[in-house]
Structure 1
Amino acid sequence: MAETPNQSRDKSSASPWFMRSALAIGLAVVFIALLNNARQSSTSHWLESYGPGTESETCQQVPKLSPTNKRVETYIRETVQSAEYQREVIKKLSGIIQIPSESYDELGPIGEDDRWDIFFQIESYLKDTYPTVFQNVKLDHANTHGLILTWQGSVSPSQAKPILLLAHQDVVPVLMENVKDWTHPPYDGHYDGEIIWGRGATDDKGYLISIIETLDLLIKSGFTPKRTVILAFGCDEEISGENCGRPISNFLHEQYGNDGIYLIMDEGSTGIQREFDRSFAMIGVAEKGYLDVGINVSSTGGHASNPPDHNAIGILSEIVVAIENNPFLGKITSKNPMFHFLECAAVYAAGSSFPMSDRRTLSKAAAQDNNISQKQLDQALGNMKYHFRTSQSMGKINGGVKINAIPETASTMVNLRLAVETSIAQVEAHYESLVKTISRKHGMVFKGFHSTCDPSVSRKICLFGVDALEPAPISPADAESYHILSGTIKNVLKPLGQDDELIVTPYLMPANTDTKFFWALTKNIYRFTPVNLVENLNRAHTTNEFIRADEFVREPLFFASLILNSDDVVD
């Protein structure tokens, strides 16, 4: 293309301008490099600089927050402390445990598979047990068994966004062959004077009874909310939530729209625990992502007397070994809520429980120091290591139908929980890279995620994903709703052991809840169970699930205080 006169004239005068620009760019590059070095230097001493006296700068704690409505607060507090009340609420939890509302992976549609009918019993039980609640709330159904209870506030939801408390009615199944291993039958709801035993005691019928009990107490106290209060009970949280969790979310979204909810509370996997020899109230402000990866290997079959060097099972085994030998590496970044939990621990923990050597290792890891090995990082993190990395677990494997026949297919399923810094696309790329190498080695056709696995091709390896879920958005720890929740925790709940203070901190849920369907309704999604879950959580989903009665009976005081405190900020 021919130059224009202006282009020709500009070229002769461009040299000084270009030199000035190059110098400016060079200086900018140097400045950015110095800034990055300064940041890295700062991060490299990250946890080492925290300790007593740095509380005002890091892990600031809000003061206790007591409701202004002292009459109602006193009524709730005195009621839940009475022996008669405690006997009654324990009996209510025992009763709902006795309804075996199991959800199964292979359930058919609601209305067609009669195993869903058990949830009619749950609804009837709640109506019979809480007549006062159902006389004062509007009950809606989402896909038959999703229950939505709306206690209308005096102020329009457009002016005071509703508070939403979630729980689920379903429990994981109990295998018949395991019933004999239970101290008390799983569906007896046995109370031994200290502990309430049974499937669902912790996950999640204790939570469900606590929040509906809260409404019952508030209504009986004469309290009239300004802010609308919504309770929503799913029916299939343990099997993905598509049948109730998603329909409930869709129903509420139609009612209130994007960002139409003030605060969502759901069960937490942490609650109050003791770490680093200090008591922490751990609020789940995010959840790890989720992905099930399926790997199918197809090869030619035949008689076992004339086998190939590597049949489908052998090749699949090679893939499994490659996956386990190439785990996802841990990473410490400020995006992870656990980053801020470690800061809180560094400020409040005694030096002996969080030694400087571990702080130095974690600080260097946060500064991306390549001299820190994965083993060193895992040792410093201890049982928290999978909060900082994507986990992978081989869950199922199938292959072969007869000992003297060469298997034509073999398959496995891998369960992954995605770190907050990663994505489904990154995980898929990692698996495709590993498996593609093995497929080439054996001269097999490779089909990655999002491609068609051609059934006419006899020798192939295919990958597919199931139940893909990106890591949850991180809820703000500086929002008004978080401060109200923190202040309520400080006011109602007590530290463990001899600690003089319960430290409230953001935390990460490694598992998933029904909140995965509610991201559009609010940014303020918090997962927290107001009890000591150290022992309880270890029993969820397995033999001898239980909840301590002395902790369970106090939960309604916490939820009532949260509702009252949230109501106090309404103009």
Structure 2
Amino acid sequence: MNKQTNQRLDKVTTSSWLIHGALAIGLLSALVATLGNPLKLFGPSELDKYSWGNESGVCQQVPKLSPKNTNVEQFVREKVESPDYHREIINKLSGMIQIPSESYDELGPIGEDKRWDIFYQMEDYIQSNYPTVLENVKLDHANTHGLILTWEGSVPASDAKPILMLAHQDVVPVLAENVKDWTHPPYEGHYDGEIIWGRGATDDKGYLISIIESLDLLIKSGFKPKRTVILAFGCDEEISGENCARPISNFLHDRYGDDGIYLIMDEGSMGIHKEFDQSFAMVSVAEKGYLDVGINVTSTGGHASNPPDHNVIGVLSEILVAIENHTFPRQVTTENPIFGFLECAAAHAPESSFPISVRDKLSKVAHGDGSAQQKLVEILDNMRYYFRTSQSVGKINGGVKINAIPESASTLINLRLAVETSVSQVEEHYENLIRPIAKKHGMVFEGFKSPCHSLEKRKVCLFGVDALEPAPVSPVDAESFRILSGTIKNVLKPLDQDDELIVTPYLMAANTDTKFYWALTKNIYRFTPVNLVENLNRAHTTDEFIRAEEFVREPLFFASLILNADDVVGS
């Protein structure tokens, strides 16, 4: 806020509509390779046509898409609108919340660590509440607790690629000392007539119930799919997905091969939001990358009465100060799905609500104008972590006794990689930053490619954990995205009655189980068909909840998507 007057006014103008979206993203929980030029995807290449009300074709919207099988659709709609059905599905979600299917970072292997056994209860619950589904699908297991439900279509997968819907059974643990802070006990599944409370209500048991409900409704309607429908439920999404999501993806890849899936749907971070006085359905077409960087500093110890000028804690502190003083650059480029969102906002939001300071720079950024990119990123400072690799020091350890010189100190730093970067670039940045500090203190330096096991006493060592590149960006000109968009338009409503619901690409800052599914399809979309403004702020923390009136309609969305995807088979 210490810019020149005009720049200050720009920031004041934009901050109110940016803060909410930025805070929501900061709470989550994606990973992007390249989007290409979004203008190729949303309309013609006249890069200067961003003024409101033009017909340039930027962010063109598809019309509402209704299933051709009107009898089936009517059956599903009438069921979903029934008060009896509302009570039934709310009770199912409440009962599933009552199963504390927590996943922990330090879990041992499945079959050895008894804490995994809670997922037997999850499977039993699904089987007992959805007998019709289990009578019509094939149930496979991946590493015991990964569940794969396959509803075989009449057309072979080689001729009509299956649609795959993902959800995860596990939830973030609730600390015993925090239970008292909940309005209702976290595993009670309390329904107060408006809100369903409990751990997993939003992330991700509501989503899981909704997609299996969609199959239940379609089966009971008499519908027979041409395109195979697959549901896959992981057991460890909250702790990286190695125990269930990876085995599930391997299972499906063995069965269907590279690019063998038509469309993948998974939970999204944004859902339906209102920005710039316009309702948007924000479909995340990519995720940021991920890396935990570990830094170990070791030296000789001794008695605290005869200390060196800089012990390992001091050296590590100097390194951390250097890291925080050298943040990653911000850049707004056309490779980032958020640029596509800004285009959609410029084309569809009310002219008075979309800042002219942003609108005027979009075409220049699309042309690769570096000056415009820099100015735009300054205006969008409250959204900087959409456009920058974030780094957060999460853990630090050093010293065991106050009168002993510590022999080691260590830290772990969490990074979410920007669209335009890579794991190797991040590693190079840290090596270039830390190597001179080690040299200054006469210490051996070992970068990421070293084993970090050498015997030198005075050493700075770097290592990476859970490295994940930014995800490939899913196309928004694909048939599958048009079907998804048309389904959203047909089933979901804008947040204000007078609004049109605009479907837009978006970016997830967090990661989902989709990180294991890249080989199965390019068409991976992350979207939760509800208004997540308040819900999202409670995921992973006290008083997680979901609004019943929105939750009960989710199965209609997923059933309609299945029907619409089925309609194009053979067309």
The runs of 5 or more residues in structure 1 that have no matched partner are 1-38, 40-44
Deviations 1:254-308 (A, max 9, x none): 1111111110000000111111121100111111111100011112211111111
> In 2, distance between residues paired with 1:76 and 1:113?
42
How far the C-alpha of 1:62 sits from its partner, in A, is 0.3
Number of corresponding residues: 527
Secondary structure of the residue aligned to 1:339 is helix
Tell me what 1:393 maps to.
392
3-state SS in 2 of match to 1:535 = coil
TM-score, length-scaled by structure 2 = 0.90
The residue that corresponds to 1:148 in the other structure is 148
CA drift of 1:370 comes to 5.8
Which residue of the partner structure matches residue 103 of structure 2?
Answer: 103
User: 1:223-302 residue pairs with structure 2 within 5 A?
Assistant: 223-302=223-302
Q: Which amino acid aligns with 1:390?
A: T
Question: Matches of 2:567 and 2:433 in 1, distance apart?
Answer: 56
The residue aligned with 1:476 is 475
Match in the other structure for 1:524? 523
Instruction: Provide Cα deviations, 1:355-402, integer angstroms capped at 9, x if missing partner.
Output: 21233466666666665797x655522543211111111111111111
Measure, in 2, the Cα distance between the counterparts of 1:71 and 1:498. Answer: 28
Q: How does 1:536-555 map to 2 (within 5 A)?
A: 536-555=535-554
Distance across 1 between alignment mates of 2:373 and 2:457: 42
SS state of the match for residue 450, structure 1? coil
Partners in 2 of 1:90 and 1:382 — Cα distance? Answer: 41
Are the equivalent residues in 1 in contact too, given 2:301–2:407 (CA < 8 A)?
Answer: yes
Counterpart of 2:339 in 1: which secondary structure?
helix
Gaps of 5+ in 2: 1-38, 40-44
> Does the CA-based 8 Å contact 1:48-1:359 persist in structure 2?
no
How far apart are residue 467 of structure 1 and its match? 0.4
Distance in 1 of aligned mates of 2:534 and 2:170: 21
Mapped to 2, the partners of 1:373 and 1:333 lie a distance apart of 7
Q: Which residue of 1 aligns with 2:489?
A: 490
Partner of 2:92: 92
2:47/2:366 contact within 8 Å kept: no
Runs of 4+ with >3 A deviation: 45-49, 358-374, 376-379
User: Which residue is 1:3 aligned to?
Assistant: none
What one-letter code is carried by the residue in structure 1 that aligns with 2:65?
L
Q: Which residue of 2 aligns with 1:461?
A: 460
Q: Partner amino acid for 2:294?
A: G
- CA distance change for structure 1 residues 122 and 179 in 2, over 3 Å: closer, same or farther? same
Separation of aligned partners in 1, 2:368 and 2:319: 30
Q: Is the 8 A contact 1:303 1:406 kept in 2?
A: yes
Kept after mapping to 1: 8 A contact 2:253/2:520: yes
Contact 1:287–1:511 under 8 Å retained in 2: yes
State the distance in 1 between where 2:288 and 2:425 align.
14
Once the two structures are TM-superposed, the CA of residue 465 in structure 1 deviates from its matched residue by 0.3
Separation of aligned partners in 1, 2:304 and 2:363:
56
CA distance in 1, matches of 2:216, 2:470: 35
Residue-by-residue CA offset, 1:139-170 (whole Å, 9 max, x unaligned): 00000000000001111111111100000000
Counterpart CA distance in 1 for 2:221 and 2:78 is: 11
Q: Is the aligned partner of 1:502 residue 2:501?
A: yes
Shift of 1:488: 0.2
**In the alignment, structure 1 residue 446 sits paired with structure 2 residue 416:** no
* In 2, Cα distance between equivalents of 1:551 and 1:486: 19
Q: Secondary structure at the match of 2:125?
A: helix
8 A Cα contact 1:93 1:189, kept in partner: yes
1:146–1:244: 8 Å Cα contact kept in structure 2?
A: yes
Alpha-carbon deviations, 1:50-107, whole Å to 9, x = none? 1333244200000000000000000100110011100110000000000000000000
Which amino acid in structure 2 is aligned with residue 541 of structure 1?
H
1:74 aligns with 2:78: no
Letter in 1 for 2:136: N
CA distance in 2, matches of 1:364, 1:244: 45
Change (3 A) 1:536 1:382: farther
Tell me the SS of whatever aligns to 2:120. helix
Aligned mates of 1:320, 1:377 — CA distance in 2: 29
Change over 3 Å in CA distance of 1:166–1:418 after alignment to 2: same
Secondary structure of 2:281's partner? strand
How many angstroms does 1:492 deviate by? Answer: 0.3
Contact 1:47-1:360 within 8 A present in 2 as well: no
- The whole-number CA distance in structure 2 between the counterparts of 1:186 and 1:289 is 31
**Once the 2 structures are TM-superposed, how far is the Cα of residue 414 of structure 1 from its aligned partner?**
0.6
* Per-residue deviation, residues 426-463 of structure 1 (Å, max 9, x unmatched): 00000000110111111110000011224420100000
Structure 2 residue 53 is the aligned partner of structure 1 residue 53: yes
CA deviation map 1:200-219 (0-9, x unaligned): 00000000000001111000
Query: 2:28 maps to which residue?
Result: none
Q: TM-score, normalised by structure 1?
A: 0.90
SS at match of 2:330: coil
Contact 1:51 1:348 in 2 (8 A): no
Name whichever of 359-368 and 392-401 sits farther off.
Answer: 359-368
Offset of residue 338 of structure 1: 1.0
Separation in 1 of the partners of 2:48 and 2:475? 26
CA contact (8 A) 2:332 2:376 kept: no
Give the corresponding residue for 2:19: none
Shift of 1:349: 1.8
Question: Is contact 2:332-2:377 (8 Å) kept?
Answer: no
Question: What whole-Å deviation, never above 9, does each CA across 1:529-552 have from its counterpart, x for those lacking one?
Answer: 000011111111111111110000
The equivalent of 2:121 in structure 1 is 121
Quick check: 1:47–1:359 contact (8 Å CA) kept in 2? Answer: no
Provide the secondary structure at the position in 2 that maps to 1:332: coil
Aligned-partner SS, 1:534: coil
C-alpha separation in 1, matches of 2:55 and 2:410: 52
With 246-255 and 347-356 compared, the bigger mean Cα shift is at: 347-356
Q: CA deviation at 1:350?
A: 2.4
* Matched residue type, 2:406: P
Q: Is the 8 A contact 1:48 1:356 kept in 2?
A: no
Query: What's the CA shift for 1:351?
Result: 3.2
Q: What is the alpha-carbon distance in structure 2 between the residues aligned to residue 247 and residue 410 of structure 1?
A: 36
Q: CA deviation at 1:252?
A: 0.5
- Distance in 2 (alpha carbons) for counterparts of 1:168 and 1:403: 45
User: Once the two structures are aligned, what percentage of the paired residues are identical?
Assistant: 77
- 1:412 is matched with 411
Equivalent pair of 1:400/1:410 in contact (CA under 8 Å)? yes
CA deviation map 1:196-249 (0-9, x unaligned): 110000000000000001111000111110100000000000001000000000
One-letter identity of the residue aligned with 1:277: D
Aligned with 1:416: secondary structure?
strand
Cα separation, 2, equivalents of 1:453 and 1:356: 52
| Residues 319 and 125 of structure 1, relative CA distance in 2, 3 Å threshold | same
The residue that corresponds to 2:219 in the other structure is 219
Q: Secondary structure at the match of 1:506?
A: strand
Query: How far does the alpha carbon of each residue in 1:295-332 deviate from its partner, in whole angstroms, 9 at most, with x for none?
Result: 11112211111111111111111111111111111111
Q: 1:445 to 1:384 in 2, by over 3 A?
A: same
Match of 1:246, SS state, is helix
Instruction: Report the Cα distance in structure 2 between the residues aligned to 1:193 and 1:382, rounded to whole angstroms.
Output: 40
- CA 1:372–1:393 in structure 2 vs 1: closer, same or farther (change >3 Å)? farther
Amino acid at match of 2:468: L
Distance (whole Å) between structure 1 residues aligned to residue 344 and residue 523 of structure 2: 21
Cα distance in 1 for partners of 2:70, 2:81 equals: 16
Name the structure, 1 or 2, with higher relative contact order (CA <8 Å, separation 6+): 2
* Aligned AA (1:100): P
Query: Where does residue 22 of structure 1 map in the other structure?
Result: none
